[in-house]
Amino acid sequence: MSKYILVTGGVCSSLGKGVASSSIGSLLECCNLSVAMMKCDPYINVDAGNMSPYQHGEVYVTSDGTETDLDLGNYSRFTHVTLTGANCITTGKIYEEVINNERAGRYNGRTVQVIPHITDEIQRQILRVGAQTQADVVIVEIGGTVGDIESIPFLEATRQLMRKTGKGNAISLHLTLVPIITGGELKTKPTQHSVKCMQEIGIQPDILLCRTENILDEGIRNKIAKFCNVEQNAVFTSPDISKTIYELPVIFNEQGIDALILKKLGFTKHKADITPWKKFLDKINNPKKTIKIGMLGKKNYENDCYKSVRESLLHAAVSAHGVKLDLRKIDAEDIESAHNPAPFFEGFDGIVVPGNYGQRGFLGLLAGVQYAREHNIPFLGIDFGMQIMAIETARNIIKWEEADSTEFIQNTDYPIVSLPEEQSSFAAAGLMKVGNSEITITKGSKLKDIYKKSTITERHRNKYTCDKKYKDNLEKAGLLTSAISVLDMQIEALEWKNHPWGIGVQYHPEFISRPTQPHPLFSAFVGATILYKEKKE
């Protein structure tokens, strides 16, 4: 039977429960234990598909096509778990299941209530992950903050689950804040109140993880342990990191958090070997050189909007090439209002255009693609970034000035990008392609040299596609179709023929990159930026 670590948070949101949970998962894997990861989000949305990236960060897509919270991206990067829709539940998803059961008469006419029906369904879905994966340990992150009204059903379900599984089979790990006030004094009172709130619910945390600037000294830890009714050796620190979130597994290991978890769950014969993490950090701390890459997106976008792309570029820079990544934002809207776009791109060794939605900033994105093509700068376009390559070629080389996407102009004479149902009467209308799908790579393409395979499987999240009927026109203009979908024969990749390195892909390679296993496409792109930099020098 699987054992469970139930991770909760207190005082305020955004303390880093997702990264902490992921780091603990990676440490348990370093102990040769199998791990499963799960996120319970208290929002009423059924999934994260319609959430604004400005409010919630990127939408991470699992292999089966479930649109989830970005924390699942951290789970995937830190561990080797296989994530599906079962690994992410929301209040909306739970209530939808319970209401469907009630409509089907499965409750035999009983009044449907939060307790037991909602809490039972939460427990059922948590236990199902353990049963399906047969993992040694299932780490369950409860989103939100203790004390929030939205979190109450999940915390009650957690209390019942710990009682049901029994001592030694489930433990509570509570992440809380130890702030520093004016004068540099650490205050433990917020943590005390947070734990008190947990105790009122009926949960006594087994381990406290305190978010603060620096490692807590013994005196503060002893005070927290005394007032929060936990052992002093069960109070740990999640400090501010200096360079990268991938420092956390090593920091946690040095404090002994993995050793205490193993003891409390009864895995006494296991010990962590964190050598891969130390090697990765050694490469970060001792780079050969620095490359400067510009990420072209909408104005004022948050870093979390393109979290997986940013991390994938870091993985490739560090693990594949041992260089330092200097990643800078370029605002597409600023370019639109400027007379000359050149100053925005000067000094960069490579340009990336990740997935975007909406017409805002489109002309700035188009100018960036044109600049990369004309100045032979290594370019990587993802999703919409690939589609802009097609539109830019049609407008500036073929001279179809009206070329556009039907997302923006419905009656354009040259709908280079459109919905599949607009291209063919046989396509299913209004469906987004999400999740894993097979792709065939064109012989003789740069993409074939990168993957060294004829068929690959990549993850998708798109509605609009490049229309196949313009394929020959684009290829005559120097834009090669280098990959085709096996499922629907849609264009999956484009590359400039007469360019050192310019590739756009319809799929999202960033979703399957890991720190020590960078995605080959990102590795090849970073390699091209290094060559470009060397030629400039």
Segments of 94-206 assigned E as strands: 137-142, 170-177, 180-181, 185-186
Q: What is the pLDDT of residue 95?
A: 97
Q: What is the pLDDT of residue 360?
A: 82
Confidence of residue 428 (pLDDT cuts 50, 70, 90): low
Give percent above pLDDT 70 in the chain. Answer: 99
Task: Specify the range with the lowest mean pLDDT, choosing from 20-24, 101-105, 357-361.
Answer: 357-361
* DSSP conformation letters of 464-498: -EE-GGGHHHHHHTTEEEEEEETTT--EEEEEETT
What's the 3-state SS for 74-112?
HHHHHCCCCCCHHHEEEHHHHHHHHHHHHHCCCCCCCCC
pLDDT digits (tens, 9 = 90+) for 236-245: 999 999 889 9
Nearest residue to 294 (alpha-carbon basis) of 375, 358, 240, 359 = 375
pTM of the model: 0.94
CATH 3.40.50.880 in the chain, residue ranges: 287-536
479-485/433-441 β-pairing:
antiparallel
Can you say whether the dihedral through the CA atoms of 441, 443, 445, 449 is positive or negative? positive
pLDDT digits (tens, 9 = 90+) for 57-67: 899 999 999 99
* DSSP conformation letters of 342-357: HHHHTT-SEEEE----
pLDDT digits (tens, 9 = 90+) for 367-409: 999 999 999 999 999 999 999 999 999 999 999 999 999 999 9
Domain 3-280 homologous superfamily, CATH? P-loop containing nucleotide triphosphate hydrolases (3.40.50.300)
CA-atom Rg of the chain in angstroms: 25
186: β partners: 180
Q: Which one-letter amino acid corresponds to residue 505?
A: V
pLDDT digits (tens, 9 = 90+) for 157-216: 999 999 999 989 999 999 999 999 887 889 999 999 999 999 999 999 999 999 999 999
Query: Residue range 450-455: average pLDDT?
Result: 96
Q: Is residue 426 scored above 70 in pLDDT?
A: no
pLDDT digits (tens, 9 = 90+) for 319-346: 999 999 999 999 998 998 888 889 999 9
Q: Is residue 92 scored above 60 in pLDDT?
A: yes
What is the C-alpha to C-alpha distance for residues 38 and 127, in angstroms, rounded to an integer?
11
What is the C-alpha to C-alpha distance for residues 199 and 201, in angstroms, rounded to an integer?
5
User: What angle in degrees, to the nearest 10, is found between the helix axes of 91-103 and 119-133?
Assistant: 100
List of residues 6+ apart from 57 with CB closer than 8 A: 69, 70, 302, 304, 305, 307
Nearest residue to 250 (alpha-carbon basis) of 514, 24, 14, 6 = 24
Domain 287-536 homologous superfamily, CATH? Class I glutamine amidotransferase (GATase) domain (3.40.50.880)
What is the C-alpha to C-alpha distance for residues 26 and 449, in angstroms, rounded to an integer?
32
Query: Residue range 53-81: average pLDDT?
Result: 91
User: What angle in degrees, to the nearest 10, is found between the helix axes of 71-78 and 307-315?
Assistant: 20
What is the C-alpha to C-alpha distance for residues 263 and 257, in angstroms, rounded to an integer?
10
What is the C-alpha to C-alpha distance for residues 531 and 537, in angstroms, rounded to an integer?
10
CA distances (Å), origin 318, targets 242, 311, 371, 438, 533: 16, 11, 27, 29, 17
Can you say whether the dihedral through the CA atoms of 195, 200, 201, 205 is positive or negative? positive
What is the C-alpha to C-alpha distance for residues 56 and 331, in angstroms, rounded to an integer?
20
Q: What is the pLDDT of residue 31?
A: 96
Work out the mean pLDDT of the chain and round it to a whole number: 93
327: β partners: 293
Confidence of residue 232 (pLDDT cuts 50, 70, 90): confident
pLDDT digits (tens, 9 = 90+) for 115-168: 999 999 999 999 999 999 999 999 999 999 999 999 999 999 999 999 999 989
What is the C-alpha to C-alpha distance for residues 47 and 68, in angstroms, rounded to an integer?
6
List of residues 6+ apart from 472 with CB closer than 8 A: none
Q: Is residue 300 scored above 70 in pLDDT?
A: no
CA distances (Å), origin 212, targets 209, 242, 356: 10, 13, 35
CB 209 within 8 A of CB 183: no
Nearest residue to 53 (alpha-carbon basis) of 316, 244, 309 = 309
CATH 3.40.50.300 in the chain, residue ranges: 3-280
SS3 label, residue 410? coil
What is the C-alpha to C-alpha distance for residues 314 and 332, in angstroms, rounded to an integer?
22
Q: Is residue 429 scored above 70 in pLDDT?
A: no
What is the C-alpha to C-alpha distance for residues 321 and 92, in angstroms, rounded to an integer?
44
